[in-house]
Amino acid sequence: MNKLISLFILIFFSLLINCGNEQQSASSNVTELSVDFVWKGMESCGKDNPKFDIKGIPPNTKFIKIDMKDKGYHYDNKSVQIPFDGNGDLIGKKFKEITTPCPGMLPGDYKITIEAIGENGVVLATASKERNFPEN
């Protein structure tokens, strides 16, 4: 009977340790959503958008939402939600829904937030970055 209990305890702790190792290795493969953008070539109050580079988009992403706000004037430069086909490279794409930076006092302080959205509108990941416009 004591051998049976000892064997049970040994198996239990072996399974517990292996579960912890599997969980750790699975979480180490997760890539964090990140966004970068540049204003290069843009004119104040013009018709361009920044060039975006988004990395670490979760595999179940159906839409990417891009939101831009002027932090200095608390102005919402609007947002756009676009279907996502698996290509995270948004460099050079233009979105007429987002208004171009037009700061009253230069430079303006802008924040861009990216959301990866899955089935049924569930937000899978969020990333944001702030930059002044224009940059020196």
10-residue mean pLDDT series, the chain (136 residues): 55 52 40 86 82 88 90 82 73 69 82 92 94 83
Angle 99-103-108 from CA coordinates, rounded to 5°: 105
Burial label for 53, CB within 10 Å (0-12, 13-18, 19+), is: middle
Those residues with Cβ within 8 angstroms of residue 75's Cβ, 6 or more apart along the chain or in another chain? 69
pLDDT of residue 101: 87
Please give the Cα distance from 62 to 80 (Å, whole number): 14
> Per the structure block, which two tokens stand in for 90?
């948004």
pLDDT of residue 99: 79
